[in-house]
Amino acid sequence: MRGLIAFLAACLAAGIAQRAHVRMLLFTHVIPPLPFKALNGPFLGKAREIFKGQIRVGRDGDFVTLPPRRDGDPPHQPADGAFLGRPPMALFAPSTNADYRGSNLAVGFLALSGLLTLIPGLIHYFLPDGGAGVIAHIDLATRADTIIAIFAWYGAMQIPFGLFVLIIALRYRSLVPLTLLMLLILQSLSAYSAWFWKGAHGGRHPPEHYGSAAFVGLGVVFLLLSLRAKTAR
């Protein structure tokens, strides 16, 4: 009985689509889903004979893109370039900003964190001494080449990481809470090492040691804000 209903529904939809002069008919939310493409034929029945355009049975993971309509496009027809299929691989996946429900303050804080990671990275990589002497005031009288090389290596990691954090803040905001958590872990470990462990014996603290300590307190606040859904007005 269920198969008969599906058969009749497909034929009915095909008739409506044909009378509306559309180019493509897509069946979605098929319940129960068809486990094999071989079942598309029995499901559609005579729908292909009724509807003369493109007809497809959607599957999980399919998506449809419809370019903006241009002047002169026929009514009731998708613009040229409509596409149905699996999402293609791309350098930038579709934005997830619409899925973010947290505070925009947390987004701003994450973007600032990205900038404050990118800028020191540029300094460490491109400044002649990497900032070891002019900023951190490290004595470069001995093993200067090694120290500067380590700073450049660290800067080479900071530059892409800072860019990655900025991209998340600008385009993939559903990842803001997770990224803030990872940064909080990173800065907590850095602050502990700088003030209470390996970095505490030198007696000098570069600006990044203070920045790590400040981030720990602020990071907790903005992480909580990112997880707090906005109140609907």
Q: Which residue type sits at 221?
A: V
With a pLDDT cut of 70, the percent of the chain lying above it is 83
Distances (CA, A) of 138 to 120, 148, 203: 16, 10, 11
Indicate if the pLDDT at residue 161 is higher than 90: yes
| Res 79 pLDDT > 50 | no
pTM above 0.85, yes or no: no
pLDDT over threshold 60, residue 5:
no
Other beta carbons within 10 angstroms of residue 156's beta carbon come to 13
pLDDT reported for residue 100: 93
The reported pLDDT for the residue numbered 86 is 60
Q: Provide the residue type at 61 as one letter.
A: G
pLDDT-derived band at 152, boundaries 50, 70, 90:
very high
Q: What percent of the chain has pLDDT over 90?
A: 40
